[in-house]
Amino acid sequence: MSINVLVWGENVHERENEIVREIYPEGMHTAIARQIAADGDLKVSTAVLQEPEHGLSEERLAGTDVLVWWGHKAHRQVDDAIVERVAKRVWEGMGLIVLHSGHFSKIFKRLMGTPCALKWREAGERERLWVVNPGHPIARGLPAFFELEYEEMYGEPFSVPEPMETVFISWFQGGEVFRSGLTYRRGAGNIFYFRPGHETYPTYHDATIGQVLRNAVRWAHNPAPAYMAVHEAPNVPVEKAPEKIVERGPKLHAPGEQGYR
Ligand code: ZN
At residue 202, the pLDDT reads 98
What are φ and ψ of residue 185, in 5° steps?
Answer: -130, 130
Q: CB 76: neighbour CB atoms within 10 A?
A: 10
At residue 255, the pLDDT reads 81
Question: pLDDT digit of tens for each residue in the chain (261 aa)?
Answer: 799 999 999 999 999 999 999 999 999 999 999 999 999 999 999 999 999 999 999 999 999 999 999 999 999 999 999 999 999 999 999 999 999 999 999 999 999 999 999 999 999 999 999 999 999 999 999 999 999 999 999 999 999 999 999 999 999 999 999 999 999 999 999 999 999 999 999 999 999 999 999 999 999 999 999 999 999 999 999 999 999 999 999 989 888 888 888
At residue 259, the pLDDT reads 85
Q: 141 CA to middle of ligand 1, Å? A: 26
**Distance from C-alpha of 117 to C-alpha of 154, rounded to nearest angstrom:** 10
**Distance from C-alpha of 160 to C-alpha of 154, rounded to nearest angstrom:** 13
pLDDT of 225-242, one tens digit each?
999 999 999 999 999 999
Q: 127 CA to middle of ligand 1, Å? A: 13
Q: 86 CA to middle of ligand 1, Å? A: 23
Q: How many contiguous H segments (helices) and E segments (strands) does the chain have?
A: 7, 9
Stated pTM of the model: 0.96
Q: 33 CA to middle of ligand 1, Å? A: 19
Q: 110 CA to middle of ligand 1, Å? A: 20
Q: 71 CA to middle of ligand 1, Å? A: 10
Measured torsion, CA atoms of residues 143, 208, 130, 42, in degrees rounded to the nearest 10: -100
Q: 43 CA to middle of ligand 1, Å? A: 27
Q: 17 CA to middle of ligand 1, Å? A: 13
Which residues are within 8 A (CB) of 189 and not within 5 positions of it... i.e. 6 or more apart? 89, 90, 91, 92, 93, 94, 95, 96, 222
Q: Are 75 and 83 in contact (CB under 8 A)?
A: no
242 exposure class (CB count in 10 Å sphere: 0-12, 13-18, 19+) = exposed
At residue 170, the pLDDT reads 98
pLDDT of 164-208, one tens digit each?
999 999 999 999 999 999 999 999 999 999 999 999 999 999 999
Cis peptide before 196 (omega within 30 of 0): no
Q: 1 CA to middle of ligand 1, Å? A: 35
Q: Specify the amino acid at residue 37.
A: A
